[in-house]
Amino acid sequence: PLWIVIILVLILIALLYYYLRPAIRISKKAFKFKKDKDGLIEIKIMLHVKNTSSKTTKDVKVIDLLPRMVKPVAEFGTLKPVKAQKSLHGIRFIWEIPLLEKHSERVISYVVKSALPVIGTINFPSASVQYVDIKGKVMNIISNRGVVSSE
């Protein structure tokens, strides 16, 4: 009887995980692309958006903020941002994905250049994904931070 209870508890935990996890995941990677003689570095940023649910998600919005110490280079990957908003904290890029099919992925990439010579590391803020779930609730999922070392 003890083994049956343990197995039932494990099945219950797996079902709760499956139904309560967010439908979309986002991760952020930043890595040094080039370094010039003045100490300025070019950094490639990649946002990996993945629909982990078994349903198509509509109206997905990806938002990423660049700190003031980096400037965007007009070099985007497959998807260009719909908006680029300047603020006190930096530049915010917004991408809109009308449909994200079930179990599909999108990789958004772009290149930035440091405004000043970098000694040490640059910490990029987290990116976020906004979408409306099945119940009509607006979900906001946050990625990890991107960190780049000048070494």
- What is the CB-side half-sphere exposure of residue 50 using CA atoms within 13 A? 10
Per the confidence metrics, is the pTM higher than 0.95? no
| 105 bridge partner residues | 50
Nearest by Cα to 57 from 142, 126, 139: 139
The pLDDT value given to residue 57:
87
Q: Provide the pLDDT for residue 106.
A: 92
Is the pLDDT at 150 greater than 70? The verdict is: no
Q: Considering Cα of 91, then 92, then 97, then 101, what sign does the dihedral take?
A: positive
Q: How far is CA 35 from the centre of its chain?
A: 25
pLDDT surpassing 80 at residue 119: no
Buried b (16+ CB within 10 A) or exposed e, 31-69: ebbeeeeeebbbbbbebbbbbebeeebeebbbbbbbeee
